[in-house]
Amino acid sequence: MTPADTADELEIRTGDDVVRVRQLVRLKATAVKLSLVDQTKLVTAASELARNTLVHGGAGRAHVEVVESDGRRGVRARFSDSGPGIADVEQALSDGYTTGTGLGLGLGGSRRLVDEFDLTSALGQGTTVTVVKWTR
Ligand SMILES: Nc1ncnc2c1ncn2[C@@H]1O[C@H](COP(=O)(O)OP(=O)(O)OP(=O)(O)O)[C@@H](O)[C@H]1O
Ligand SMILES: [Mg+2]
């Protein structure tokens, strides 16, 4: 399977979908020649965000694409859902904060693993998190 064969958009409805998102992100990260360490960082972040989409958002989608800027390539992964949204984004990003049964480390951890991190959320409307990892 080559990156050209893979869809850029995946639904996230089950735990198996989260696994598929991981595989897709790994494939694109390999395609742009991210280092093994950076591949793993991005895949780990994507895995946490996909799980949040499923667990907190109820379900949603992942969009994964190769991007290019100033001659550098990278992978951008966007996770969006139409779930309850996040009331206090800063609080949600702080380590140890959870409204569920997790450790509350997913969001803050993800942010530290990537080069760019953007979280947009509206109460009652949903959440979108976009991350980018660049080759160096
Ligand atoms: N997509 C989302 N929709 C609604 N709320 C979210 C979403 N993602 C995160 N949150 C909120 O932010 C909190 C922190 O998320 P984070 O991923 O850091 O921790 P967690 O998912 O609760 O636990 P962990 O990821 O450590 O298993 C969540 O408990 C939840 O309240
Ligand atoms: Mg989480």
Sheet with 60-69, strands from edge to edge, namely 9-12, 60-69, 72-81, 126-134, 116-122
Q: Could you report the per-residue pLDDT of 69-123, keeping only the tens digit for each?
A: 999 999 999 999 999 999 999 999 999 999 999 999 999 999 999 999 999 999 9
Residues facing residue 61 across a β-bridge: 11, 80
Distance 28 CA to ligand 2 centre (A): 23
Q: What is the pTM of this model?
A: 0.96
52 lines ligand 1 (CB under 6 A): yes
Q: Which domains does the chain have, with CATH numbers?
A: 3-134 (3.30.565.10)
Distance 61 CA to ligand 1 centre (A): 16
The pLDDT score that the predictor gives to residue 31 is 96
pLDDT at 3 exceeding the cut of 70: no
